[in-house]
Structure 1
Amino acid sequence: MRALASPDQMISVLRAALDAGINHLETAPAYGPAEHFLGQALQRLENEGKQSAEGWVITSKLLPGISLDEGKRQLKAILQRLGRSKLDNLAVHGLNRPAHLKWALHGEGAALLEWSMQCGLVEQIGFSSHGSEELIGDAIASERFSFCCLHLHLLDPQRLPLAHEALERGMGVLAISPADKGGRLQAPSPTLVEDCTPIQPLQLAYRYLLAEGISTLSVGASDPADLALASQLRDAGGPLGPAEENTLNQLMEQRSARLGEDQCHQCRECLPCPQQVPIPDLLRLRNLAVGHDLIGFCQERYNLIGRAGHWWEEIDADACRHCGDCLPRCPHQLAIPELLRDTHRRLKATPRRRLWG
């Protein structure tokens, strides 16, 4: 989704992927000309006799809510753009609301997914989600899906129990953007670099997820150099070593020291809010801004609120009416309304355009 300046850029990234031992390519029609460029690049490599030793594994996605006929048309167009006779994986792109899951399990989406498998156009069905933990849990428990793509990050591990549940059920689990959405770790703040010394923040993030058993990490490469770390870590599975454990503890200790008694521990006991303010998610951004000086990343995420539809939160901290309903439920006795006010003051900035949508 990031190598879209030209077909030459895409093939340079694919050559680097081959060299790094990467064979899983994840794309979507929503990513501009990505599928078209990818199909061209795969054909060029095939003409040159270059192929992944294990064969390419290709995932694409369809947005929920479309009709059966439209879904058939879109899937055939995906295959045509990619130059393939079938997809290894087809995901529901953004299973973010209960209506999306209903569509996939009982509506025209269910008919579409079943048709794609019966016709031999798709090997596996899965989903990506930016939705609630309850919704993701329901999707995993439905037994309809063979894999899921979730936001799983070193600095935001709240969905790891869901990932473990999926893995225990035999599902594949892809971590969505451990680098960029994980805190823009490809360009970390000096404070975060110090907190992770002697390990690079991105390297620690990758190793943390691999040690948790996550089966696939996505790497949004726009340049061959973006795959260098992935190449270095191609065989770096298994539990964290002592140095990595020490660094992880150091990271958390530094965050706690800077936040002091104002640290939100993400227990979610404060919910529900009468104004539907997503308190833990907003205070998590404050944790990262104060705890690791990730101001740019946190401002970007905060200012997407209400501008990205069902892909992100829709209510920001300014909606808090200081009713105090959350206060007695917080086991850490946080001054939540004041912390929300501080979050809004710190992170409110001129909105930036989303990469997609």
Structure 2
Amino acid sequence: MPVLSLGGMRFQQSWSDLPPEAVEAGSQANLEATLRAALAAGLHHIETARHYGTSERQLGWLLPRLPDPRRILQTKVPPAEDPAAFEADLRTSFERLGLDGEGGPGGGGGRVDLLAIHGLNTPELLDQTLRPGGCLAVARRWQEAGRIGHVGFSTHAPLPLILEAIASDQFDYINLHWYFIRQDNRAAIEAATAHDMGVFVISPTDKGGHLHSPSQRLCDLCAPLHPIVFNDLFCLSAPGIHTISVGASSPQELDLHLEVLALLPQAGELLPPILERLEQARRRALGDDWLASWDRGLPAWEDTPGRINLPVLLWLHNLLEAWDLEAYGRARYGLLGQGSHWFPGENADALDGSVSEAELLAVLQASPWAAEIPGLLRRLRGRLGGEAVKRLQVA
């Protein structure tokens, strides 16, 4: 497994699963150039997903033209209440990737080296996967027929659910969110290591802070490294992580990530001064008292009037004040209320409307910052609000 993987969430033409004739020649040429550059650089692991629009179809056309004996091909299929629906999606993935053969196990078609059950974000989805006769049983049938190599899962779930999935001992690897601005899943990496699972960090550039369009403040704090290079180096030097995703939409977007490879031996010298500057900036902006207790006594979004996701909103406040991650904050704020189980809860737009300050304060009695939080949410709404963002992932 190479330390950099080519992620397929951004190189496709469309987030809709277009018919073949709608795929444009320019888009296909760009993807071919991206694949050629990735192959030349040693990114032998390519991962995509059933619901990444045209990604699977476009890859399926190109892979035979770009043979790679070391290629590791991965796709991801979401679970379903009906295992037959999951299997239909699985069959479609193989068809789009040009691996269908006769279709289904025993059909003699091609093979996916890694299959992830995509988006184990809720207890219901985990149950649909693990219960007898469920989606994992379907994947095992295909595995026994030689159509699938290893089976893992991807997740945006709360940490306790991730740990439950790992503890099931039913998976070979995990696609996990963990990067500099979000380190709360460290226990999942440790648990995966204890269960001999591979760890693939997903979306460290986009979900890791929109590092493809970083703020000037973040650039200054990460100097002499670009924020992408800093974050990649931070992830790859952490124990237990095997590979991170390079979600390139063009060949040029590979360049910064490739800089990291030569710098890995120097991580011990390069990272500490940058980490110290980032931490000092955070403390200056937010204060030690706030940082020690901002998340204490916050209700879960399910227990908050209007389903306002206070932990996420206050985390966005911290990122905004400390490192000026406004583009990232605006995107995340707009996703609240639009992202289903991928990004649950609501933003602060309902405050002073359908949710009064008194109602909010009633559930903040255990927070040492109860009096400050309503005003903070109003300021956050004023800076980040105004536009709903539809999650691109369909599941």
How does 1:54-203 map onto structure 2 within 5 Å? 55-84=70-99, 85-107=110-132, 108-203=134-229
Q: CA 1:265/1:201 → structure 2, altered by over 3 Å: closer, same or farther?
A: farther
How many pairs does the alignment contain? 350
- C-alpha distance in structure 1 between counterparts of 2:61 and 2:256, whole Å: 26
Which residue pairs with 2:103 in the alignment? none
- C-alpha distance in structure 2 between counterparts of 1:265 and 1:63, whole Å: 38
**CA shift at 1:230, angstroms?**
2.5
Matched, 1:307 2:338: yes
State the Cα RMSD in Å.
Answer: 2.3
**CA shift at 1:237, angstroms?**
4.2
| 2:54 aligns with one of 27, 33, 49 | 33
Amino acid at match of 1:343: L
Q: CA 1:334/1:221 → structure 2, altered by over 3 Å: closer, same or farther?
A: farther
Which blocks of at least 5 consecutive residues in structure 2 are unaligned? 1-8, 14-26, 100-109
Which residue pairs with 1:17 in the alignment? 38
Q: Partner of 2:287: helix, strand, or coil?
A: helix
Checking the alignment, whether the CA contact within 8 Å between 2:316 and 2:329 is kept in structure 1 is: yes
TM-score (norm 2): 0.82
TM-score (norm 1): 0.90
- C-alpha distance in structure 2 between counterparts of 1:236 and 1:264, whole Å: 31
Q: Which stretch has the larger CA shift, 301-310 or 274-283?
A: 274-283
Which residue pairs with 2:243 in the alignment? 216
Which residue pairs with 2:286 in the alignment? 259
Q: Partner of 2:267: helix, strand, or coil?
A: coil
Q: Partner of 1:154: helix, strand, or coil?
A: coil
Amino acid at match of 1:312: F
Checking the alignment, whether the CA contact within 8 Å between 1:266 and 1:280 is kept in structure 2 is: no
Q: Which stretch has the larger CA shift, 162-171 or 86-95?
A: 162-171
**CA shift at 1:271, angstroms?**
3.5
Checking the alignment, whether the CA contact within 8 Å between 2:229 and 2:259 is kept in structure 1 is: no
- C-alpha distance in structure 1 between counterparts of 2:90 and 2:248, whole Å: 25
Checking the alignment, whether the CA contact within 8 Å between 2:154 and 2:174 is kept in structure 1 is: yes
**CA shift at 1:36, angstroms?**
1.2
Checking the alignment, whether the CA contact within 8 Å between 1:39 and 1:81 is kept in structure 2 is: yes
- C-alpha distance in structure 2 between counterparts of 1:268 and 1:163, whole Å: 22
Q: Percent identity?
A: 33
Amino acid at match of 2:35: L
Matched, 1:3 2:11: yes
Q: Partner of 2:182: helix, strand, or coil?
A: coil
- 1:101-138 CA-to-partner distances (Å, cap 9, x unmatched) read 01111052132122122222111111111111111111
Matched, 1:292 2:323: yes
Matched, 1:229 2:256: yes
- C-alpha distance in structure 2 between counterparts of 1:266 and 1:131, whole Å: 23
Which residue pairs with 2:387 in the alignment? 350
Which blocks of at least 5 consecutive residues in structure 1 are unaligned? none
Q: Partner of 2:114: helix, strand, or coil?
A: strand
Checking the alignment, whether the CA contact within 8 Å between 2:181 and 2:208 is kept in structure 1 is: yes
Q: CA 1:27/1:333 → structure 2, altered by over 3 Å: closer, same or farther?
A: same
Amino acid at match of 1:39: G
- 1:133-171 CA-to-partner distances (Å, cap 9, x unmatched) read 111111111111111111112111111221222123211
**CA shift at 1:70, angstroms?**
2.9
- C-alpha distance in structure 2 between counterparts of 1:252 and 1:3, whole Å: 34
**CA shift at 1:300, angstroms?**
1.1
- 1:313-340 CA-to-partner distances (Å, cap 9, x unmatched) read 222233563325435455x888334433
Q: Partner of 2:299: helix, strand, or coil?
A: coil
Q: CA 1:79/1:13 → structure 2, altered by over 3 Å: closer, same or farther?
A: same
Amino acid at match of 2:196: G
- 1:21-73 CA-to-partner distances (Å, cap 9, x unmatched) read 10111101101111111111111113xxxx25xx1111111111153333333
- 1:255-313 CA-to-partner distances (Å, cap 9, x unmatched) read 22112257445874324354154322211101111111111210111011111111102
- C-alpha distance in structure 1 between counterparts of 2:138 and 2:12, whole Å: 29
**CA shift at 1:100, angstroms?**
0.5
Q: Partner of 1:184: helix, strand, or coil?
A: coil
Checking the alignment, whether the CA contact within 8 Å between 1:96 and 1:132 is kept in structure 2 is: yes
Q: Which stretch has the larger CA shift, 191-200 or 202-211?
A: 191-200
Amino acid at match of 1:340: L
| 2:376 aligns with one of 334, 339, 343 | 339
Q: CA 1:89/1:267 → structure 2, altered by over 3 Å: closer, same or farther?
A: farther
Checking the alignment, whether the CA contact within 8 Å between 2:60 and 2:97 is kept in structure 1 is: yes
Amino acid at match of 1:307: Q
Which residue pairs with 1:270 in the alignment? 297
- C-alpha distance in structure 2 between counterparts of 1:306 and 1:202, whole Å: 28
